Amino acid sequence: MSGLQSRKTGLCARLGRIAADWRTAALTAAGRLMTVSVAALLLLAGGPVSAQVRSAGSGPARSGLDSLGRLLDEYTKALVSYGAAFKNGECDAIIASCHDSLTRNYTARYLFRHYNDSPLMGDETVAIHLYDRWFSESGKTTAGNESGPEVRFESEDEAFSAKVFADANRQSLLGMPAPPLRLQDRDGNDVLLFGGASGKTSGAAAGADSGATADRRLKVLYFYATDCAVCKLYSRQLQTLLPRCGQKIDLITVYTGRERETWEQYVRERLSWETADVRHFNLWDADGNGDFVTRYGVLSTPRLFLIDESGTIIGRRLDPEALRMLLEVVEQDNHYAYGGKESRQLFEGLLPVDDLSIPAVTETMDLIRRISWEKGNPATERHMAGDLLYYLNSHDDETSIEVCDWFIREYILSGKMDWKSANDSLSVVHLASFLQELRSKAAPGSPLPAVNAYVEEIAPAATSATRTGLKGKFRLDRLKKRCRLKKREMVLIFYDPACSECKDQIAKAQALATGAGRSADDAGTPAGKAKDDTPAVILINVEDNLERLSEKEQDALLEAFDLSTLPHLIRTDAGGRITRRYFKL
């Protein structure tokens, strides 16, 4: 075993899990898809389903739909570890690619039912998106449905159930601010949960601490009924689970019934406890306005939510065991240090700089995702993706930077992963956004920016004693208009005169421009003479420019180029468009 496969095995061993059999080639390919059309799926199945389903209701028709169903099942399995936003886009693309009524309706219904029935937390977000986008009355007027046949459920009962589900749950999906609720405590005081911009609780229940949702603590929101057998089990499990977590948590228990005496007795017997780390708030809907039904989708009990310190929903449809696991993930996220020595050593063995490429990173992320889900801990994928970002960003060679730029677009900021915690946002998402902004400056394919700079051309091999290179203040996008540069490529070197690597690059550039060191038989060019197609080398002293340019010109120069690391080299074609950057001579 050698190459990438051996590095994969090394990764598995380091993670404490040996990889099982790889997916089939078709499924592996499906897992990497950005967009797969139903037309392609149908082609794999052996031809258009619609042609088969137009025949009488059995035989070929059933066979065609079964084939499509199996392919959609494989496809949804390949998407299982991606975030809701990415799944939304994939499902929309699949449905939109169906141009006949039978295929489009079958595909849309299949995907809605799949995500509506999925036990995976967060998949209900996809189901609601599909309902709003393709089945609802407002969705039917969108561009997606105008470009193809209308989508409908098979029965009015199914359509009604889907509408109730979507209306009840769309306000309390993962990643949303917890909706406000007005309730009462046991003393009859009004309490506003998650009210206002700060999410503060008002009323006497607030007490000295400003209440259940006023300060930055994790909140477990638990809806229950006194006659619910499962609720009794949950109530007992929460009393055991939460004190063991070692985290500061507010447990907010909300009675969904109307019988006050029954509620009071239930609280005394089962919910009248708290600890040094767990504060307990018992509330109920005394007015019976039922806001929790539409705002939190409490169509039945029990219902458990986990809400983070900022008031954002990070867990829903939980049971006590799932809550325990999620609390562990939150604890890991809050304390995980990205870019540590151990992760760097791991990726140095897995993705050495000399072998770095987009396909190698793609295969590595496929393996990480598989192992993460086999271990049942999605945080592993996020942590290792963040570590990989730090590893890629630690190298300043051209390949590493361009691969890192692609990695940010493809994985970190694409919606494929949910970066929920404050640690994720600060350590990964903010870094990725900052790097993406830097890398967007003077990108390949764009012309040189229209900014002023003091430049100096390294004098080419002279054919006359009077010939010298350009020197002075120029607008960079107009350099090509200079007679000597009109038909030549250019290399721009932004440098710091005190930087040793900058000096090395300038020395190599001088040899390139003047032809120094060329052999007499080098493409027919005499020694000491530059070839006609040798690029013009333009030096830009950053320190000098920041002293001599006006403040407005300085800002424009810094805004146009990524000068965070020097030397910074840019190459243009003969037309003045950027072809390369971040390279070394």
What per-residue confidence (pLDDT) applies to 63? Answer: 59
Spatial CA neighbour of 223 closest among 234, 207, 215: 234
Spatial CA neighbour of 432 closest among 392, 396, 398, 399: 392
Helices (H) and strands (E) in the chain, counts: 23, 14
Give yes or no for residue 26 having a pLDDT over 60. no
Q: Which residues pair with 252 in a beta bridge?
A: 221, 281
Rounded to an integer, the average pLDDT of 92-114 is: 89
- Name the band, by pLDDT with cuts 50, 70 and 90, for residue 201: very low
Region(s) of the chain under CATH 3.40.30.10:
181-311
What per-residue confidence (pLDDT) applies to 150? Answer: 87
Specify the range with the lowest mean pLDDT, choosing from 71-85, 267-281, 489-503, 516-530: 516-530
Give yes or no for residue 248 having a pLDDT over 70. yes
Spatial CA neighbour of 243 closest among 267, 219, 278, 269: 278
Q: Which residues pair with 381 in a beta bridge?
A: none
List, for residues 505-520, the tens digit of each pLDDT value: 988 888 877 665 444 3
What per-residue confidence (pLDDT) applies to 465? Answer: 46
Q: Which residues pair with 253 in a beta bridge?
A: 222, 282
Give yes or no for residue 254 having a pLDDT over 60. yes
What per-residue confidence (pLDDT) applies to 207? Answer: 36
What per-residue confidence (pLDDT) applies to 369? Answer: 83
> 240 exposed, middle or buried (CB, 10 Å; 0-12, 13-18, 19+)?
exposed
> Are residues 212 and 193 in contact, defined by beta-carbon separation less than 8 angstroms?
yes
- Name the band, by pLDDT with cuts 50, 70 and 90, for residue 326: confident
> Are residues 380 and 372 in contact, defined by beta-carbon separation less than 8 angstroms?
yes
Give yes or no for residue 527 having a pLDDT over 70. no
> 181-311, superfamily in CATH?
Glutaredoxin (3.40.30.10)
What per-residue confidence (pLDDT) applies to 262? Answer: 93
Length of the chain, in residues: 585
Token pair 């290399």 in the structure block, residue = 491
Give yes or no for residue 525 having a pLDDT over 70. no
The count of other CB atoms within 10 Å of the CB of residue 447 is 14
What is the H or E stretch that residue 408 is in?
none
Give yes or no for residue 15 having a pLDDT over 90. no
The count of other CB atoms within 10 Å of the CB of residue 124 is 24
Query: Could you tell me the two tokens for 164?
Result: 């109730």
Most confident stretch, 220-234, 340-354, 404-418, 471-485? 220-234
Query: Could you tell me the two tokens for 413?
Result: 């900021």
DSSP assigned state of 266: H
What per-residue confidence (pLDDT) applies to 484? Answer: 60
**Percentage of the chain with pLDDT > 70?**
75
What per-residue confidence (pLDDT) applies to 458? Answer: 82
What per-residue confidence (pLDDT) applies to 455? Answer: 92
> 196 exposed, middle or buried (CB, 10 Å; 0-12, 13-18, 19+)?
exposed
Give yes or no for residue 402 having a pLDDT over 70. yes
> 168 exposed, middle or buried (CB, 10 Å; 0-12, 13-18, 19+)?
middle
- Name the band, by pLDDT with cuts 50, 70 and 90, for residue 221: very high
Q: How is the beta sheet containing 200-202 ordered, strand by strand?
A: 200-202, 190-195, 181-185, 278-284, 249-255, 218-224, 303-307, 313-315
Specify the range with the lowest mean pLDDT, choosing from 4-8, 246-250, 349-353, 444-448: 4-8
Rounded to an integer, the average pLDDT of 329-352 is: 80
> CATH number of the domain at 452-581, out of 3.30.1420, 3.40.30, 3.30.70, 3.30.1490?
3.40.30
Specify the range with the lowest mean pLDDT, choosing from 45-54, 105-114, 171-180, 536-545: 45-54
Rounded to an integer, the average pLDDT of 561-571 is: 89
Q: Which residues pair with 220 in a beta bridge?
A: 251, 306
Query: Could you tell me the two tokens for 4?
Result: 């990438």
Cα distances (Å, whole numbers) of residue 481 to 6, 283, 476, 578: 53, 75, 10, 16
Angle at 567 between CA 565 and CA 569, to 5 degrees: 110
Three-class SS of 181-240: EEEEECCCCEEEEEECCCCEEECHHHHHHCCCCCCCCEEEEEEECCCCHHHHHHHHHHHH
11 or 86: which leads in pLDDT: 86
Spatial CA neighbour of 570 closest among 431, 496, 476: 476
What is the H or E stretch that residue 579 is in?
strand 578-581
Rounded to an integer, the average pLDDT of 51-58 is: 39
Q: What does the mean pLDDT of the chain come to? A: 78
What per-residue confidence (pLDDT) applies to 264? Answer: 93
List, for residues 172-196, the tens digit of each pLDDT value: 998 889 999 989 999 989 899 987 5
Interhelix angle 378-393/341-350, rounded to 10 degrees, is 80
- Name the band, by pLDDT with cuts 50, 70 and 90, for residue 416: confident
What per-residue confidence (pLDDT) applies to 459? Answer: 72
315 or 524: which leads in pLDDT: 315
User: Residue 318: helix, strand or coil by DSSP?
Assistant: coil
List, for residues 463-506, the tens digit of each pLDDT value: 444 456 788 999 998 887 765 666 678 899 999 988 888 999 98
- How far from chain centre, in Å, is Cα 162? 28
Rounded to an integer, the average pLDDT of 276-295 is: 87
